[in-house]
Each structure stands twice: as structure tokens, then as C-alpha cells.
Amino acid sequence: MARPARAAFVTLLSTALCAALSTSAVSSARAVPESVRITKQAPPVLAPAATEGAAPTAAGVGKALAAILKDPSLGKHHGIYVYDASRGKPVFSVGAATSYTPASTLKLLTTVSALSVLRPDHTFATKVVSGGKGSIVLVGGGDPLLTVKPSANDGFPARASLQTLAASTAKALKAQGNASVTLGYDASLFTGPAVNTHWEANYVPEGIAAPTSALWVNEGRIAPGMAKRSTSPSQAAALAFQKLLVQYGIKVAATKPAVAAKAAAPVAQVKSPTVGQIVEYINLHSDNDGAEVMLRHVGIATGNGGSYVGGVEGVRATLTKLGLDVSKATTYDGSGLTRANKVPLDLLAGAVRVAASKEHPELRHLLTGLPIAGFDGSLKERFTTAGTSTGTGLVHAKTGTLTSVHSLAGYARDRSGTLLVFAIASDSVPVPKTLDARAALDRATAALANCGC
């Protein structure tokens, strides 16, 4: 795949600078040309982007979007909400009086809530504890990205693995003189149905989502890269752990469900990436399973319990504390897979707005994890059609897609330096017009980045 021109430019510039600096290491500092010599260290944090020129107006934004919003591919029920985050005020909206099926843009509400109540540096531990004489228990801590073995294909962030946990466990057991154990596995951190009753019946069989568990590997996938999921992710994780223990010289007599005692002696543990890193991963890749796990963590952290129902209540309570109005929203899950979800556009944009505010630096991972138009995540292959190039690299947005539903919510900095937060959606797209509708959303957000109006 050809590299983006911008990436190629950065590489060439870096190469030139590195070559110049390498030369300086061999020869004297005086031999380095004055134009290349570094005389002042750059500040560790860049100054905020300046907001210059006239503020965007409803008339100006409306004019830039008028033709796009008339595109028939968007169907009868579509709208957009635009907020000037640089000046702290709404700018423009059309069709924002009603709620929309958000699809995966709902993940913004789940993940901003997780950052708020769990904090970005929090991690989840997968543990092995003593289960009594000759027994150990594998305890799931709700790590959504836990893997069997580390892989070069995992990408960012680096993940905890059962292999690392098994190696540490085997070492600890051998130090205690134990070479044979029975293995229990405990996934009791989450409660209630593992499969959301509002999901379509085909979601789990087709691998669109897994039964949500506090103990799983590879998000319940039977094999890495395959869509098919285990019907019992916790049992599958325990059996994978058993095989690894055997490889490390520990005989496992039996593997069965268990509930670890709260005071059980620890044997070994591995920790997940931070909540901030997990949130970035979920939003960049639109990870349904990760979002459902984080929903349950929000439920637990807010005292509503580890079910998806408790998670929904926890998200609503957290958003309210953040100053967002949830009175017109109806939600049933954390991923947006449920078609019955209905959310106002100003609430979707509101999650981005509070994450960008000076009052909530703990929410910044919501912004840094959003896909960048034409560059990465679920926007990597987007913004390639006519009228969208002005958004490439400038529009940062979470995507949402279900049959007849398309949405984008995020931010763009326009030509005057104004930070515009937006949410745009249609949940009445004629199926044959799916790609046309998606392109219309791309054009609309690219127009915001090019606006300066």
C-alpha cells in the first residue's frame, strides 16, 4: 500500500535531520551548518492552536452544508449538530430535535464514562490465587484485550497474556514444591446475561459479538482472526491456561468453574493496558466486545453492578455528572449494536465536547483515540470520494454503521483555527444508497474542516 504523502514527507524530513545529526557525531560541532545546528530545545508541550478570524456562524455553516444535507441518499431522517468548542457555544443544527439510532457512535458515551469513573491510568488484573491444598483458581478481572500468547499482530497497546501468567504461576508453584494442581476458573466479576437480550439473534453465531465475560482470551474467539466465538469464553480461557501450565511442567488434574475466596493467597497476576489505552483501541477499531466489557466496569464502579443493565445505568449517571442531558436518550448496550438505542445528536457531540474541555483533562484519551480521516482505524479507507479531501487528516471521528444507519461524531479544526465538535447521522438510509450516504457524511465533515465561515 502506498504511504500517504504526508507520512512520506515526515519520513524524508526525519531522515535528512538524522543524517545531519549523525554527521555531527563524527565531526566537530562546528562542522554542522548553522541552519541544521540545534540551539534551542523544543518545548515538551506545543502551544494550543490559535483561534483566529471571525467565529463561525449558523448562516456560514449552513451554507457550507446546505447542498450536502439535501442528498437523497441520506433518507428522510437525518441531521447534524455542530458546536464551537473554542468559544463554548452551539453553532448550527438541522434535524437535531429528535433522537437517532447511533450505531457505534454510542461507544463515545460508554468510553467517556469509563475514563471518568475508572480514570485513565487504571488497569485490570487477571490473577491466579490459591484455592486450597493442591488447587489454584484463575480469576478474570475483566481485561477485554487479554490474549493467549503475545503476537506481533496485536499492535498497540501491548497486551497481557495467559502465557506470561502461566510462566509466573508455574515458577511460583514449583518454588512451593507443587507440580500437580486442580484448576478452577472464576468469571464472577460480571453478572447477568452474557448476551444482551436486545441484540439480533445472529450477532453471536456470526461472531459480530461474543458472550461478554470477565475472563476470556482473544475476545472469546476460537482462534485469532476468526469471527466464530466460543459459547463459554471463560471455560475456553481456562482450558488454554491449562495447556500452558502443562507446557511449563505443571500437571493439571482437572479444570472446573469456581469462585475464589476474597482472602485467597495470590500466586501470580498480569495487568491489562490502561483504561486510557483500552478506550483508544475501542474507538479506533470500533471494538464491540471491548465496549461491552467497559460498560460492565462502569456499572461496577458506579455501584450499579456488573450486568449490562447496571452498566447502562452507570453510564447515564456518569454522563449526568459530566453535565450532559440524557433525558431524551434510550440505550440498552455499550457498543451500539442494539438498533433500539436512541440518542440525540447533541449528546453524542457532548461526549466529545466534555473530553475537549479544560475542566476534564482525564478524558483526553477519547480524543486521541478517534480515527483520523483517511489515515487510520475505521476511517482509514474513507474520505476518498469527491469533495472529501479537505477533511483528510483533519477530521477525527467515531464511525457508526448498521443496516440503514450511518453516523459520525467527533471534531475538526477549521481554517480559522476554531475547534468544531459535531455529530451527524441518518437512520433511514435506503440500503442501495449505503456507500452514497457514507460519502455524504464524509463530505459534510470535510466541509466543516474547510469552513472558516
Of 206, 241, 273, the last residue of a domain is: 273
Local confidence band at 435 (pLDDT 50, 70, 90 cut-offs): very high
The total number of structural domains that make up the chain:
2
Same domain, yes or no, for 151 and 264?
yes
Same domain, yes or no, for 138 and 244?
yes
Does residue 11 belong to any structural domain of this protein?
no
**Residue 162 or residue 156, greater confidence:** 162
Local confidence band at 452 (pLDDT 50, 70, 90 cut-offs): confident
In this prediction, residue 228 carries a pLDDT of: 87
Same domain, yes or no, for 243 and 389?
no
3-state DSSP: the chain helix, strand, coil percent, rounded to 5? 40, 20, 45
For residues 349-353, average pLDDT: 98
Query: Checking DSSP bridges between strand 251-257 and strand 180-186, what pairing results, if any?
Result: parallel
> Residues 393, 421: contact at Cβ < 8 Å?
no
Q: What is the pTM assigned to this prediction?
A: 0.87
For residues 177-200, average pLDDT: 96
Same domain, yes or no, for 111 and 214?
no
In this prediction, residue 43 carries a pLDDT of: 59
Q: Which amino acid is at 298?
A: V
Same domain, yes or no, for 329 and 438?
yes
Same domain, yes or no, for 138 and 210?
yes
In this prediction, residue 290 carries a pLDDT of: 98
Q: How far is CA 289 from CA 37, 174, 183, 305, 444, in A?
A: 50, 36, 26, 18, 30
For residues 292-321, average pLDDT: 98
- CATH code for the domain of 196: 3.50.80.20
Asked whether residue 7 carries a pLDDT value surpassing 80, the answer given is no
Asked whether residue 44 carries a pLDDT value surpassing 50, the answer given is yes
> Residues 413, 405: contact at Cβ < 8 Å?
no
Out of 35-49, 264-278, 347-361, 410-424, least confident range: 35-49
In this prediction, residue 453 carries a pLDDT of: 82
Asked whether residue 168 carries a pLDDT value surpassing 70, the answer given is yes
Q: What is the mean pLDDT of the chain?
A: 89
In this prediction, residue 13 carries a pLDDT of: 31
Same domain, yes or no, for 252 and 181?
yes
Same domain, yes or no, for 257 and 301?
no
Of 273, 306, 339, the last residue of a domain is: 273
- Structure confidence by residue, pLDDT tens digits, 128-157: 999 988 999 999 999 999 999 988 777 889
In this prediction, residue 47 carries a pLDDT of: 60
Same domain, yes or no, for 266 and 284?
no
> Residues 441, 447: contact at Cβ < 8 Å?
no
Same domain, yes or no, for 311 and 429?
yes
Asked whether residue 307 carries a pLDDT value surpassing 90, the answer given is yes
- Compute the residue count for the chain: 453
Of 255, 273, 291, the last residue of a domain is: 273
How many CB atoms are closer than 10 A to CB 318?
Answer: 23
In this prediction, residue 39 carries a pLDDT of: 41
d(CA 384, CA 386): 7
In this prediction, residue 54 carries a pLDDT of: 75
- Structure confidence by residue, pLDDT tens digits, 82-106: 999 999 999 999 999 999 999 999 9
% pLDDT > 70, the chain: 88
Report helix, strand or coil for 330: strand
Local confidence band at 400 (pLDDT 50, 70, 90 cut-offs): very high
**Residue 216 or residue 44, greater confidence:** 216
Same domain, yes or no, for 220 and 345?
no
Does residue 46 belong to any structural domain of this protein?
no
> Residues 6, 13: contact at Cβ < 8 Å?
no
Same domain, yes or no, for 162 and 188?
yes
For residues 213-239, average pLDDT: 90
Q: Which domain holds residue 144?
A: 125-273
